[in-house]
């Protein structure tokens, strides 16, 4: 008969609200953990004897009891509510609308957007993620466990940060759990640079997490509601209700703080960071913290972006209006979106892509010719993209396709080092001493995996998995 121990840690402050369940059956130990009221994640390990399985289970239980967990009855406590951004949107009073080329109604308010040279990504609060090409054709769709807070790109990887406190890698056929963030961190925004994850939260804290999902440092800023975090090779830029604060990336030392209060969105270019605010302005700051320019809008700024090197600055406000400014701050044009207020945006090759309060994902022709025509009321015919009838691909976080053919790809092995499981390369031609960034919930001691490819981190010292993961049998 299986033997199950169920524990919970729930504090009145709401800072912790999670469960931990250990089930022992013969030589297997199954551990399930997560936020109270959710299914959570599951790890399964097999031991040589039932006695060793019991020893491991008791060790895990005692660790949690020391941390304040207590025996509990499942279902007695309710699921802790997830913080979602509260936004309002009014119809723009501007007569002329922006020149939309195509529009896709994703079905729910959307914050997640990422554009690269091949694809356009959108993620909404229902947890639906769609991949389109630049002509508006839907190429793929995924269903994640919770709503999508944001989509970020890091080199060749695309990640989705979700309300369940986790980050998923979208570069394969099936979404994979890339980072498991502490259940206490209520994600507002995140950014990833060369495998380093930065997370800002509801309380104004910002956290640096390395490629092994280990928290390296946490800093509490001078405000709350951290809707902006951006990182580069040297520093982290954290925007919150009290302004923008910069930290040195390696050790977390504060470099500067600028009181441009009420930050609702952030953007960065090579030499500058931009913050959209509730005070109806976008601020351009040098990466040393000096205010370089201000861009005045007519309502709270929900989103902002720039063309390369900041030649043009774009903003979207709570009144469903879009703005384009020169780098110096001169207003070039202002038009209505026609599809709600832009909650996120990105510019790419004369096109401005937005996701909005009504769930629309829209491509706008931002070329001077198209804008001039729109200002006279001449608009292109909009391509309205229909929702696919095919069901989206659901994440299967622990199941892996198996293969015995190792001729195509890179072979990895899971080894135990101390109390932790590490992934190493065993294929020739790689540094076999380096760790490989690999989903923690897929690691099984002694297992071998075949991956599509691995790539050395830009900083060196570890590898990163790209594409499909299969279990080698």
Is residue 242 predicted with pLDDT exceeding 50?
Answer: yes
Mean of the per-residue pLDDT values for the chain?
A: 91
Of 29, 54, 71, the domain-final residue: 71
233/279 same-domain check: yes
The verdict on residue 242 lying in a domain is yes
Segment 467-471 mean pLDDT: 90
145/188 same-domain check: yes
Is residue 85 predicted with pLDDT exceeding 80?
Answer: no
Is residue 77 predicted with pLDDT exceeding 70?
Answer: no
- Which pLDDT tens digit goes with each residue over 98-110? 999 999 999 998 8
Give me the percent of the chain exceeding a pLDDT of 70.
95
- Which pLDDT tens digit goes with each residue over 261-302? 999 999 999 999 999 999 999 999 999 999 999 999 999 999
Number of domains in the chain: 3
pLDDT of 202: 84
140/271 same-domain check: yes
239: helix, coil or strand? strand
pLDDT of 13: 45
278/407 same-domain check: no
Is residue 73 predicted with pLDDT exceeding 50?
Answer: yes
Report the side by side order of strands in the sheet with 187-193. 187-193, 196-201, 205-209, 215-220
* CATH code: domain of residue 216: 2.130.10.10
**Strongest mean pLDDT among 62-71, 125-134, 213-222:** 125-134
Segment 421-439 mean pLDDT: 93
Segment 371-383 mean pLDDT: 96
133/158 same-domain check: yes
- Which pLDDT tens digit goes with each residue over 145-179? 888 999 999 999 999 998 878 899 998 888 888 88
- Which pLDDT tens digit goes with each residue over 7-42? 988 765 444 678 899 999 999 999 998 878 777 778
**Eight-state DSSP code of residue 440:** G
* CATH code: domain of residue 33: 2.20.140.10
342-348 and 393-394: which strand pairing?
unpaired
The parent domain of residue 57 ranges over 3-71
230/262 same-domain check: yes
Of 334, 354, 385, the domain-final residue: 385
Q: What is the DSSP string of 266-302?
A: EEE-SSEEEEEETTSEEEEEETTS-EEEEEE-SS-EE
271/351 same-domain check: yes
The verdict on residue 248 lying in a domain is yes
Distance CA 472, CA 392 (A): 27
What is the pTM (predicted TM-score) of this model?
A: 0.82
The verdict on residue 165 lying in a domain is yes
CB 329 within 8 A of CB 344: no
Is residue 88 predicted with pLDDT exceeding 80?
Answer: no
User: What's the pLDDT band for 454 if we cut at 50, 70, 90?
Assistant: very high
125/212 same-domain check: yes
User: What's the pLDDT band for 201 if we cut at 50, 70, 90?
Assistant: confident
186/38 same-domain check: no
More confident residue, 66 or 286: 286
44/178 same-domain check: no
The verdict on residue 164 lying in a domain is yes
Element holding 417 (H helix, E strand):
strand 410-417
CB 228 within 8 A of CB 265: yes
């Amino acid at each position: 008969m299986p033997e199950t121990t169920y524990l919970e840690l729930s504090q009145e402050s709401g800072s912790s609200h999670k469960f931990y369940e250990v089930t022992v059956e013969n030589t297997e130990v199954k551990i399930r953990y997560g936020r109270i009221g959710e299914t959570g994640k599951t790890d399964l390990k097999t031991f040589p004897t039932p006695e060793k399985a019991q020893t491991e289970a008791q060790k895990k239980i005692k660790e949690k009891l020391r941390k304040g967990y207590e025996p509990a009855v499942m279902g007695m406590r309710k699921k802790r509510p997830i913080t979602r951004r509260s936004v309002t949107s009014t119809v723009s009073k501007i007569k002329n609308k922006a020149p939309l080329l195509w529009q896709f109604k994703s079905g729910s308010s959307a914050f997640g957007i990422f554009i690269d040279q091949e694809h356009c990504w959108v993620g909404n609060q229902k947890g639906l993620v769609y991949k389109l090409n630049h002509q508006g054709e839907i190429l793929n769709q995924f269903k994640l466990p919770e709503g999508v807070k944001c989509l970020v790109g890091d080199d060749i990887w695309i990640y989705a940060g979700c309300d369940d406190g986790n980050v998923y890698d979208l570069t394969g056929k099936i979404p994979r759990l890339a980072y498991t963030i502490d259940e206490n961190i209520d994600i507002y925004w995140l950014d990833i640079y060369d495998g380093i994850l930065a997370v800002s939260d509801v309380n104004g804290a910002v956290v640096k997490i390395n490629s092994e999902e280990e928290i390296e440092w946490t800093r509490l800023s001078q405000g709350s509601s951290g809707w902006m975090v951006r990182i580069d090779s040297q520093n982290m830029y954290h925007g919150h209700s009290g302004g923008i604060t910069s930290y040195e990336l390696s050790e977390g030392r504060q470099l500067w703080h600028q009181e441009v209060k009420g930050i609702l969105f952030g953007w960065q270019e090579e030499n500058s960071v931009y913050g959209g605010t509730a005070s109806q302005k976008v601020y351009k700051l040098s990466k040393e913290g000096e205010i370089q320019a201000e861009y005045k809008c007519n309502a709270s700024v929900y989103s902002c972006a720039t063309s390369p090197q900041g030649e043009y600055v774009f903003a979207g406000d709570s009144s469903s209006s879009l703005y384009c400014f020169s780098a110096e701050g001169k207003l070039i044009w202002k038009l209505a979106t026609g599809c709600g207020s832009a909650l996120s945006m990105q510019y790419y090759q004369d096109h401005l892509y937005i996701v909005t309060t009504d769930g629309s994902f829209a491509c706008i022709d931002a070329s001077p010719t198209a804008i001039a025509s729109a200002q006279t009321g001449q608009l292109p015919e909009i391509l309205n993209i229909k929702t696919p009838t095919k069901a989206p691909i659901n994440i299967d976080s622990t199941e892996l396709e198996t293969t015995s053919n190792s001729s195509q790809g890179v072979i990895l092995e899971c080894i135990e080092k101390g109390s932790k499981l590490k992934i190493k390369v065993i294929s020739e031609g790689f540094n076999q001493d380096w760790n490989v960034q690999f989903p923690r919930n897929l690691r099984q001691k002694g297992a071998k995996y075949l991956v599509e490819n691995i790539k050395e981190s830009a900083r060196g010292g570890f590898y990163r998995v790209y594409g499909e993961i299969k279990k080698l049998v």
